[in-house]
């Protein structure tokens, strides 16, 4: 059975993501990177320790990355088996978004949970 092994990040809508990121950087020393968010590297998520990290990322309000959910946030969960995890949530009644994506960061898949939240599942590339 697939399982969640960490929190990959949180993505949320903002009227002015750059200003908000700057505020967090100034007032809480959030390590905002040039792409506009912050990454927190996870050294204790074996076997994902070399590739795992959590992301904090404000997104422009007009951006449709969180669609089809009407919510203003999405969270990302790190999983050990993307395909199995998507099958499990589908069996549990979630609406699986049929597109999966592969990138240099690993494999991604999405579903809408019973409360209408869009959830991103991430299976990092093993080192």
Please report, for the domain that includes residue 58, its CATH number: 3.10.180.10
Domain span including residue 81: 4-124
With residues binned 3-state (H G I as helix, E B as strand, rest as coil), the percentages for the chain, rounded to 5, are 15, 45, 40
CA–CA gap between residue 111 and residue 39 (Å, rounded): 23
Q: Give the per-residue pLDDT at 54.
A: 83
Reduce the DSSP state of residue 78 to 3 states and report it. strand
Per-residue pLDDT tens digits of the chain, which is 127 residues long: 989 888 889 999 888 999 989 988 887 778 899 999 998 876 655 455 455 678 889 999 988 888 898 889 998 988 899 999 999 999 999 999 988 999 988 999 999 988 888 999 999 887 6
**For the chain, how many structural domains are there in total?**
1
């Amino acid at each position: 059975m697939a399982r969640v092994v960490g929190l990959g990040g949180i993505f949320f809508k903002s009227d002015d993501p750059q200003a908000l990121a700057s505020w967090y950087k100034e007032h809480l020393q959030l390590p905002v990177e040039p792409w506009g968010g912050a990454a927190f590297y996870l050294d204790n998520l074996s076997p994902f320790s070399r590739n795992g990290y959590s992301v904090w990322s404000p997104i422009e309000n007009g951006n449709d990355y969180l669609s089809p959910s009407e919510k203003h946030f999405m969270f990302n969960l790190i999983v050990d088996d993307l395909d199995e995890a998507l099958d499990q949530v589908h069996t549990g009644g979630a609406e699986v978004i049929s597109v999966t994506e592969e990138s240099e960061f690993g494999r991604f898949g999405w579903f809408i949970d019973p409360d209408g939240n869009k959830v991103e599942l991430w299976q990092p590339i093993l080192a």
